[in-house]
Amino acid sequence: MAGTTRTPTNLTQGAKADAGIGASTLRPDGTLKVTGEFAYSSDMWHEDMLWGFTLRSPHAHARILSVDTSDALAQAGVYAVLTHDDLPTEHKKYGLEFTDTPVLADGVVRHHGEPVALVAADHPETARRAAAKIKVEYEELPVVHDEASALAEDAPLLHPGRDDHHAHEVPHPNIVHRQPIIRGDANAAARRADVIVTGEYEVGMQDQAFLGPESGLAVPGEDGGVDLYVATQWLHSDLRQIAPVLGLPEEKVRMTLSGVGGAFGGREDLSMQIHACLLALRTGKPVKIVYNRFESFFGHVHRHPAKLWYEHGATRDGKLTHMKCRIVLDGGAYASASPAVVGNASSLSVGPYVIEDVEIEAVALYTNNPPCGAMRGFGAVQACFAYEAQMDKVAAELGMDPVEFRQLNAMTQGTIMPTGQVVDSPAPVAELLRRVKALPLPPENQWESAGQTADVRALPGGLSNTTHGEGVVRGVGYAVGIKNVGFSEGFDDYSTARVRLEVVAGEPVATVHTAMAEVGQGGVTVHAQIARTELGVQQVTIHPADTQVGSAGSTSASRQTYMTGGAVKNTCEAVRDKALQLGRRRFGTFHPAWATAELLLEGGKVVTDGGEVLADLADVLGDDVVDLELEFRHRPTEAFDIVTGQGFGHVQYSFAAHRAVVEVDTELGLVKVVELACAQDVGKALNPLSVVGQIQGGTTQGLGLAVMEEIIVDPKSKVRNPSFTDYLIPTILDTPTIPVDVLELADDHAPYGLRGIGEAPTLSSTPAVVSAIRAATGLALKRVPVRPEHITGV
Amino acid sequence: MDFLRPASWEEALAAKAEHPTAVPIAGGTDVMVEINFDHRRPDVLLDLNRIGELHDWEVGEDTVRLGASVSYTRIIENLRSVLPGLATASHTVASPQIRNRGGVGGNLGCASPAGDAHPALLASGCEVEVASVRGTRMIPIDEFYVGVKRNALAPDELIRAIHLPRADGPQQFSKVGTRNAMVIAVCAFGIALHPSTRTVRTGIGSAAPTPIRAKAAEEFLAAALEEGGFWDNGKIIPPAVARQFAELVSGAANPIDDVRGSASYRRHALGVMARRTLGWTWDEYRGNERSARCA
Amino acid sequence: MRVTFTVNGREQEADDVWEGESLLYVLRERMGLPGSKNACEQGECGSCTVRLDDVPVCSCLVAAGQVQGREVVTVEGLADQARERGGRATDGTTLDQAKGWQAKPHGAQAAQPGQLAPIQQAFIDAGAVQCGFCTPGLLVAADELLERNSSPTDADIREALSGNLCRCTGYEKILDAVRLAAARQDEVV
């Protein structure tokens, strides 16, 4: 690395011109984001606004014996103090899948950091001081913190009397959801195996660690309603949960998306939304709530920690015979997205391989640990770490090259998933592995600079100066993964787009209005590209996302370009048809092609498919405005059978492969990832620059899980490291060069043939890094993050 | 809360005498974290930023007088040749932004066992100049750390400067963290060879209630070096000696298990760092000796 | 207490400042300059990086009272500062065209072409901005790097930016942006 200078020629630069799909056009919000003017949710400000503050439980499981707010209320500058008793309606709970989460603790706290009371005051410090004066008397209760304690005979039940839709089918009330998948006969197939390899694996609790903390501003309206400016992943899902608690009809809760400082799944659940609205409605004043980093660790769900048991068999010639696995996910105190995470973990537990005989079980538990839910990769990350470790292990047992072994068993288009679903679009698993393997390896000993001293920045330990090359061993590892795209298991997954086409100052202009949460992924960039492609206009305005238009669904599950991109395309096509109808009415008699030819909109003109210009779009539109709002759905899916797990459960699959090159200081157990190459099939890159950015970002989050990121929860279910001092995410000195090879094999079922891309790179990154560390050290390494203790064995 | 902004050292001492509970704030890199996270609400904040002399340093014949607020960045840029151990340690402090604000006075004031400067200070054998309206006194670094996050300062005293001997031989510093930048030490080790006195000094961070020296290791090594005539013959230190030194360093630690690392790992890592840094410093010493002889 | 200091070349005053407030809070909540971001408030992420008397610091760790009479430059002042240094504003055409379909939330005024510092333009062009929350701090840090080192190596860039966390990009495009800005600086000379 030392001595390397800038290489501007290698830059993937944004296209100079505005362009349609396939070009690397620049972000429409880029200028505002680099000048500091882009308004994030924590930047909201209002005359006379108050600051909200949340008092949280110091215990993981306790009964609340009493709450006395009188001293807090007596503080100068305090406008309101609210507890569970102050909630205005009988709807006192909310939740993504189950309505099981109290808005404010209902006499029991079930996890460390659960909200107990709210304060609104004229300054954040006043609010904090007042909160400190709220007297809460707790009686601590025993905690449920793992599978054994959750399922013990006398285990305290987290949610006695459950009435959710999985309640009647779970084997124990502390199991949120259980999804078995049985296909073929694993026991019979095991008898054909020449080798059988088993393994137990563990994945720690990862945090999304988005940089913009939970925040927003609620402004009471004159009509008794409320305007809420907030950072979220899904406005309409928030709205559905907020309105009943406030006792307001949905149209009186007007939500506008503020700038979102990253999400990664952590904003799929509500955080401060209802709290800010309650305080605003109570005080009649605008209320802003901004979590600090400490509170943020309690303000959102995390990635489910998991324990995984796997058994694989293979014949001497390297063919996998069967797989059995059991995956236990810790869902924490409330359900959040746990049921869907179980479905993913279970249905993707085989990985991108052909195995006909399987026995799979995945469960999520209710415990007193922090609630877990959506995070990039969503159940598939945990499984991928385990099955890829198993692939290395089986290959080693057979004496085969681990990449060749994977390729020999790789799924292809036409492969039948363990759920019985036929993979009906390209699945270039072997090819992705071939591509990362074919890349040249980075040079050795890059820390050796021209001078005498080692450049520690290129060594494990970095600036901390722990080695000048001593103990450093290189290792190379591979992994590949499979992720579903979109909402699965029969969910009615749709998105809505409103598109308006009109003439402004003599030019045709398209306005695209959706409720899609732009969380950084670049949805706003591709929406404009799509509108430009479909409507042939130069100027496209992206309307701010709000609830004045229909739902866009969540910015998650790698689905937004597919779904809201698809919705924009779909509506644009309908708008185009309307515009052409106008054209036929106005100009149809002037040229026969109006009636006979396939017509397109290009460069602001109506042209025939032969390229003949029929009219200017501006003339076609005249004073008319074409304005349509339409819903778009992907093809329907079905629920997995609760006994056999069979069902057409997923819309689309997404694949990525990684090669990791690491250097490990084997004596100190410190790791430097030297290079992390990725190859991914994206179907169609609507914006290649953004695609590569997503892949590199996802890859880096996987690296973080591999070697440093973990929320540590003690046996009393308390979080021990809720800060950026002790929850570490990769810095620029921890992150290697990430070469990306993008493959574009169209999925004919999807708009433009595209494939959702956001999550797949997060899956295979982690096991590739760990595989490389295993190669360097010869250790088994069954748990992530890998800590120095695991490598040094002390 | 009061915010005092003394314009001179005398004013600062007077303010501290009047408000012994006042919390001095210089770079703010520790104090502000505590305030931001509501861990601390001092009655009085005493801003030392306005006192120019705290940002100055003087390199004398034998010692360097380092103002308490000289930033780590300045130390790295200007004092590497005379204070190599401290400069190396300074480079491992947090991030460029923090190195631009923080200084050794803050590390000493907080006296956290994880402060990155401590091992280098202990290894150098410096003295801390503290003052109050009652007068000035020099506290040897060995007597400075008195408990977990407690130092030898009286309530009315402020840290003015650190007097460090100019390096008379190679010095090194090494710290283990689970990230390659911006990380708090899991444990850290500093070593300074003092050829002029034929002694070796060490410092250990994050592996005991306070920063400590590994005295048994120092004595063992000094004796072994003396006995083998190593200072004069410049031979490679035998692996057995290095190993014994490492074990003694490891044994000097009294670490705990926490979220950053286990006690046993800390002991192990200290041994590895001790062996490696001894190797680096001794190689440098031998190189210097050789070139001195050649000249 | 009252605090008076210079921000982006203009003298600013804040009244009724609580003594425990940080420079970051005063900038964001009292001076209408929310560009500096509040991502960790403990000096571990760099999102709040500003120049204090020229030096990059975490504004969350500077007590408001400490900046009395001092000079602060935030992300909002980068373009002006670049102009004063004599740097040219970069390629306006690209930006102008990009603005054709700009999202314009309430009242937000986008910068006019040519009004960006080279490092700001480079971040846009290289795709270094995703959610953008880390961007202001990174821009201030990267701008200061290029001011003192016009041809940084990759290792130099990584070291200079090691105090700025980004969760979206994996840093590759950020490296590209700094390389690009450095290269454009060379072109001008």
- pLDDT score of C87: 56
- The rounded mean pLDDT for chain B is 96
- pLDDT score of A431: 98
- pLDDT score of C185: 86
The residue of chain B with its CA nearest to that of A668 is B269
| CATH fold of A147-206+302-380 | Aldehyde Oxidoreductase; domain 4 (3.30.365)
Confidence of residue C139 (pLDDT cuts 50, 70, 90): very high
The residue of chain C with its CA nearest to that of A541 is C101
Which alpha helices (DSSP H) does B102-186 contain, by range? 104-110, 117-124
- pLDDT score of A141: 98
Q: What is the pLDDT of residues B218-259, one digit of tens each?
A: 999 999 999 999 999 999 999 999 999 999 999 999 999 999
- pLDDT score of A18: 77
* Residue C148 CB neighbours (<10 A): 8
* Pair of tokens at residue A99: 């309505």
Chain centroid, CA B192 distance in Å: 12
- CA dist A473 and A471 (Å) reads 6
User: DSSP assignment of C31-80, as one string?
Assistant: SS-TTS--S-SSSSS-TTEEEETTEEEEGGGSBGGGGTT-EEE-GGGHHH
| CATH fold of B171-294 | Enolase-like; domain 1 (3.30.390)
pLDDT of C111 > 60? The answer is: no
Interface mutation target, options B37, B99, B180, chain A, most CBs of A under 10 Å: B180
Query: Quick check: ipTM above 0.85?
Result: yes
* Pair of tokens at residue A330: 């810790």
Confidence of residue B119 (pLDDT cuts 50, 70, 90): very high
Confidence of residue B159 (pLDDT cuts 50, 70, 90): very high
- Tell if the CB–CB gap between C40 and A293 is shorter than 8 Å: yes
- Tell if the CB–CB gap between C44 and B182 is shorter than 8 Å: yes
- pLDDT score of A4: 29
- pLDDT score of A15: 40
Task: Provide the residue ranges of all domains of chain B, joining segments of one domain with +.
Answer: 171-294
B96 contact residues in C (CB cutoff 8 A): 56, 141, 159-160, 162-163
Question: Is residue C68 less than 8 Å (CB to CB) from chain A?
Answer: no
- pLDDT score of B293: 65
Per-residue pLDDT, averaged over B16-45, amounts to 97
Give yes or no on whether A426-483+651-792 and A494-633 have one common fold: yes
- CA dist A391 and C27 (Å) reads 53
- pLDDT score of C91: 41
> For residue B135, what are the contacts with CB-CB under 8 A and spacing of at least 6?
none
- The rounded mean pLDDT for chain A is 96
> For residue A691, what are the contacts with CB-CB under 8 A and spacing of at least 6?
A682, A685, A742, A757
Residue A651 amino acid letter = V
User: DSSP assignment of A25-70, as one string?
Assistant: PPPTTHHHHHHT-S-BGGG---TT-EEEEEEE-SSSSEEEEEEE-H
Q: Tell me if A425 sits within 8 A of A389, measured CB to CB.
A: no
The residue of chain A with its CA nearest to that of C20 is A125
Residue B92 amino acid letter = T
CATH number of A44-141+211-262+267-299: 3.90.1170.50
Q: What is the pLDDT of residues C121-137, one digit of tens each?
A: 999 999 999 999 999 99
Interface mutation target, options A4, A6, A530, chain C, most CBs of C under 10 Å: A6
* Pair of tokens at residue A668: 């100190």
Task: Pick A426-483+651-792's CATH classification: 3.30.365.10, 3.30.300.30, 3.90.400.10, 1.10.10.10.
Answer: 3.30.365.10
pLDDT of B176 > 80? The answer is: yes
- pLDDT score of A40: 96
Task: Provide the residue ranges of all domains of chain A, joining segments of one domain with +.
Answer: 44-141+211-262+267-299, 147-206+302-380, 426-483+651-792, 494-633
Nearest-CA distance from C54 to chain A in Å?
19
Domains and CATH numbers, chain C: 3-73 (3.10.20.30), 81-188 (1.10.150.120)
- CA dist A336 and A331 (Å) reads 8
B6 contact residues in C (CB cutoff 8 A): none
- Tell if the CB–CB gap between C160 and B96 is shorter than 8 Å: yes
- pLDDT score of C114: 63
Low-confidence ranges of chain A (pLDDT < 50): 1-16
A125 contact residues in C (CB cutoff 8 A): 18, 20
- pLDDT score of C61: 98
- pLDDT score of C107: 32
pLDDT of C105 > 60? The answer is: no
Question: Nearest CB to C65: which of B5, B37, B96?
Answer: B5
Nearest-CA distance from B131 to chain A in Å?
33
Query: In the block, which residue shows the tokens 């006994």?
Result: A643
- pLDDT score of A450: 64
Task: Pick A494-633's CATH classification: 3.40.1360.10, 3.30.465.10, 3.30.365.10, 3.40.50.2000.
Answer: 3.30.365.10
- pLDDT score of A449: 73
